[in-house]
């Protein structure tokens, strides 16, 4: 009996030892894997070869993490006065300013390609620009006429309009200028009226691009007060003082008007944490969607915004980005179609839900092919 008890004891001790031994082996194995694969622990060469899935088109498609679709695009279009007029924008090869009567046909093409929304930007005649930017409140101004024409022809096409005073301001600034200062609160009062004027003209998404503090909350309240509680706000939340806007200012005719720069209201390109505060405040004030701008040089901001807030996040591939790409492609230095799609995919990978891009039409066609 005594020897039997001892034998059982031996087995118990042995089993314990065995379990401990196995645990240690497992742990060492795990640590090994962790060491060779960073945080993932998903396998090691040669049993794991990441090139296998890349080996054929079918499996590359199966494992693709992001996909581009026309749904991702918002197409910005420049509007000019007159009839049956198209005017090339010299600094943006391939982009034209269109007169209001040509907007419905442009929208028809966008619509047939599956693009959900267009952004309208007016090239306002210099004679209409004043220090109080009062043309911004004219219900019959260029952007309002374009909006109405588009909405009448294509009620299901989304329309985004900038709220900011720069197209109408003889100083070229997004806000009212007093003694060299872009005044915040006084500007907001005008922006609120501008938003209502544009909503009345059929604009579905108000895009405050002015970077005044507190404007989202004020505009939301103003829209609601005027019965436009269904009109969305896509806030240009993290908008940087960027030299990449150069060709846009040429396209809307604001470059000659602008006195100085926009550094006292647009963000410093050196900053990233500050972008999160801007976005947080705009969401708290009622923004339905937020935007980061410019795009490709600021994809780190897109990723941080998306990861931090998980709200609909958009990015603007701005005029200068378009111009760089086209300049190189037109010289034969880059393959146009490939860089067009690669540049847009980069936005998706960074977490953007959508992209404002002058490439919308050609990219949508490329995706279809
Ligand atoms: C106006 C506005 C700008 C852009 C969009 N809205 C220019 C600016 O802030 O000076 C830039 C778009 C682009 O470069 O494509 N507030």
Catalytic, 239? Answer: yes
Nearest to 304 by CA among 317, 296, 313, 294: 313
Q: Which two tokens mark 356?
A: 């404002």
Per-residue pLDDT reduced to its tens digit, 193-227 = 999 999 999 999 999 999 999 999 999 999 999 99
Tokens 């622990």 belong to which residue? 41
Nearest to 186 by CA among 199, 201, 173: 173
Superfamily for the 72-368 domain? Aldolase class I (3.20.20.70)
Per-residue pLDDT reduced to its tens digit, 90-116 = 999 999 999 999 999 999 999 999 999
- Choose the residue to mutate in 133, 248, 264, 320 for probing ligand 1, maximizing ligand atoms within 8 Å of C-beta: 248
What's the pLDDT score for residue 21? 55
What's the pLDDT score for residue 65? 98
Q: Are residues 203 and 160 in contact, defined by beta-carbon separation less than 8 angstroms? A: yes
Q: How far is the CA of 36 from the centre of ligand 1 (A)?
A: 46
State the Cα angle at 124 between 123 and 127, rounded to 5°: 145
The residue nearest atom 11 of ligand 1, judged by CA position, is 245
Catalytic, 293? Answer: yes
Query: What sign does the CA torsion over 244, 247, 252, 255 have?
Result: positive
| pTM (global) more than 0.85 | yes
Mean pLDDT of the chain, nearest integer = 93
- For residue 164, give the ligand 1 atom closest to its CA: 16
Per-residue pLDDT reduced to its tens digit, 317-331 = 999 999 999 999 999
Between 247 and 255, the higher pLDDT residue: 247
Q: Are residues 40 and 83 in contact, defined by beta-carbon separation less than 8 angstroms? A: no
Confidence grade of residue 1 (pLDDT, cut at 50, 70, 90): very low
List the chain domain ranges. 19-63, 72-368
The residue nearest atom 10 of ligand 1, judged by CA position, is 245
Q: How far is the CA of 174 from the centre of ligand 1 (A)?
A: 10
Per-residue pLDDT reduced to its tens digit, 224-239 = 999 999 999 999 999 9
pLDDT over 70 percentage in the chain: 89
Q: Which of 293, 306, 326, 348 is catalytic?
A: 293
Please name the residues in contact with 358: beta carbons below 8 A apart, sequence gap of 6 or more.
Answer: 75, 76, 92, 94, 95, 317, 319, 322
């Amino acid at each position: 009996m005594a020897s039997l008890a001892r034998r059982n004891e031996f087995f118990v001790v042995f089993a314990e030892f065995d379990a401990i031994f196995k645990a240690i082996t497992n742990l060492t194995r795990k640590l090994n894997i962790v060491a060779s694969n960073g945080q993932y622990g998903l396998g090691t060469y040669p049993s794991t070869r990441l090139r296998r899935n890349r080996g054929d088109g079918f499996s590359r498609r199966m494992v693709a993490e992001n996909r581009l679709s026309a749904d991702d695009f918002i197409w910005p279009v420049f509007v000019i006065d007159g009839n049956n007029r198209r005017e090339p924008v010299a600094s943006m090869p391939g982009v034209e300013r269109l007169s209001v009567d040509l907007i419905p046909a442009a929208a028809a093409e966008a619509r047939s390609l599956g693009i959900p929304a267009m952004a309208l930007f007016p090239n306002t005649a210099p004679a209409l620009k004043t220090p109080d930017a009062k043309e911004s409140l004219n219900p019959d101004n260029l952007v309002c006429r374009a909006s109405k024409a588009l909405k009448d022809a294509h009620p299901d096409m989304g329309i985004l309009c900038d709220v900011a005073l720069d197209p109408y301001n003889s100083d070229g600034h997004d806000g009212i200028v007093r003694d060299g200062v872009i005044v915040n609160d006084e500007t907001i009062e005008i922006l609120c009226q501008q938003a209502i004027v544009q909503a009345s003209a059929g604009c579905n998404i108000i895009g405050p691009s002015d970077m005044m503090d507190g404007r989202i909350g004020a505009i939301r309240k103003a829209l609601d007060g005027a019965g436009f509680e269904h009109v969305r706000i896509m806030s240009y939340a993290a908008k940087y003082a960027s030299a990449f806007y150069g060709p846009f200012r040429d396209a809307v005719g604001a470059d000659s008007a602008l006195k100085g720069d926009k550094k006292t209201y647009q963000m410093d390109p050196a900053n990233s944490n500050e972008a999160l505060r801007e976005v947080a405040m705009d969401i708290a004030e009622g923004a339905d969607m937020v935007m980061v701008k410019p795009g490709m040089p600021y994809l780190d901001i897109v990723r941080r915004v998306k990861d931090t807030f998980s709200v609909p996040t958009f990015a603007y591939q701005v005029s200068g980005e378009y111009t760089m790409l086209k300049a190189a492609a037109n010289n034969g230095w880059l393959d146009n179609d490939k860089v067009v799609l690669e540049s847009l995919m980069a936005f998706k990978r960074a977490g953007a839900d959508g992209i404002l891009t002058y490439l919308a039409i050609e990219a949508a066609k490329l995706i279809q092919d």
